[in-house]
Each structure stands twice: as C-alpha cells, then as structure tokens.
Structure 1
Amino acid sequence: MSMTKADLIDQIADGTGLTKIETRAVVEGFMTAVRGAMKEGRRIELREFGVFEVQHRAPRTGRNPQTNEPVEIEDRYKPVFRPSDKLSEAVDAAHKADEE
C-alpha cells in the first residue's frame, strides 16, 4: 500500500494540529528545499532519518533487451536516499512484528 502526498499531509496535520493548508505549504516547502539543494549538488542529512545526496553514474555500455545489441548509456547524476541505521532498524522491527 502506498502513501500519497495528500495522505502524508493529512497525517501530519492530524498529528500537529496545523491546518491542511499550512501543512501542505510546509511539505511543499520541504520538497522544494530538498530539490533545490540536490540540484546544487548538496547533501541533505537528517539525523536519525537519512541522507539525500546526488551520485554520479559513469557512462557505460548496456544492451537492448529486444535486439541484444550494445547501447551506449551516457553519464548521469542521480538523486539517492540512504536511510539511517535507526530508520532501517525501526522499519525492519515493524515488518517482523507484522509477520508474527
């Protein structure tokens, strides 16, 4: 089951007492700030949550799966999220508890 931005806004608004309009502004402001920092190549570190950063992918040769012919893939910069150890442990524990 996925969570949409609207679901996230509803949950944050319910938990903080902010209105949905205020919460939407905060969520969109956060997303804009992260996007802007990543465009500048900056690293965003949120303690106990994770790190957003940009990784460079070198050019390489791939294969067209239909024809099996080689295809040159250009280098690119890709946004990456690495969860903190605390977040990883919390997610793992929650899913293991659901299995029981």
Structure 2
Amino acid sequence: MKTKKDIVKEISEEVNLTQVDTKRVVQMTFDAIIDTIVNEGRIELRNFGVFEVKERKPRKARNPRTGQEVFVGAKRVVTFKPGKVMQHRVRGAKLPGPPPGEPPTL
C-alpha cells in the first residue's frame, strides 16, 4: 500500500522538485478537492473520476452483536465513481497474489 509520503517521493523525483515543495503541492491539490466537494457538492476530474456528496436518509439498523434495533440518523457521505480510464486500467491490471479461486502459496 502506498502512502501520501510515497507519492510525494515519486513525484519529486520525476519533476525534480524537493520533497518539501512537492508535498506542499500535493497537499494543496487535496485541499482544493476537499474544498470543492464541501462547497459545491461535486468535483469531476477527467480520466480519474467524480467525487460527489450524497444524502443518506435516516433508517433503522441492527446491532450485529446484540441484534438490538438502532436508529441511524440522516447523514451526508462522499461517494466516488471512477472514470473510464481508471476503470479500464484497473480491469486490465494484474492484482497482487494468486488468481481468484486459487489458494495462496506459502
């Protein structure tokens, strides 16, 4: 699993910027995405995907441990729909580990 630190390191090497400057640009990008989602409810990043705020209605749920019915209030959640380029690349990518249905090798 990659972290933001790993991404910053890769980008800084690729564009010949210091990691400090690259981290600042990456963080500013994330902040701009978050601000747009909060203020406008949606951001579309071509060839990447769409982040959108959706309203979840209040509902009844069940505590899995006790079986007791609980009330879950309305809330806003962020959803992500991947773009076509991402979907195509993910579907064509080989996943780490054994193919589905095969036991892992030890």
- TM-score computed with the length of structure 2 as normaliser: 0.83
Identity %: 34
**Cα deviation digits, residues 47-91 of structure 1 (max 9, x gap):** 111111111111110001111111000011111221101111111
SS of the equivalent of 1:40 reads: helix
Please name the residue that 2:103 is paired with.
Answer: none
- 1:79 aligned partner: 78
| Distance (Å, rounded) in 2 between the aligned partners of 1:25 and 1:88 | 29
Letter in 1 for 2:13: D
Which ranges of 4 or more aligned residues in structure 1 deviate by more than 6 Å? none
In structure 2, the residue matched to 1:20 is 19
Kept after mapping to 2: 8 A contact 1:41/1:53 = no
Match of 2:60 in 1: 61
Indicate if the aligned counterparts of 1:57 and 1:78 stay in contact, CA closer than 8 A: yes
Q: Give the superposition deviation at 1:41.
A: 3.8
How many residues align? The count is: 98
Tell me, yes or no, if structure 1 residue 34 matches structure 2 residue 30. Answer: no
Normalising by structure 1, we get a TM-score of 0.87
Unmatched 5+ stretches in structure 1: none
| Distance in 1, Cα, partners of 2:24 & 2:92 | 32
Code of the aligned partner of 2:92 = A
Q: Could you tell me how far 1:99 is from its partner in structure 2? A: 7.0
RMSD: 1.8
Aligned-partner SS, 1:95: coil
Q: Please tell me whether the aligned partners of residues 37 and 43 of structure 1 are also in contact (alpha carbons under 8 angstroms).
A: yes
Give the Cα separation in 2 of the matches to 1:26 and 1:33. 10
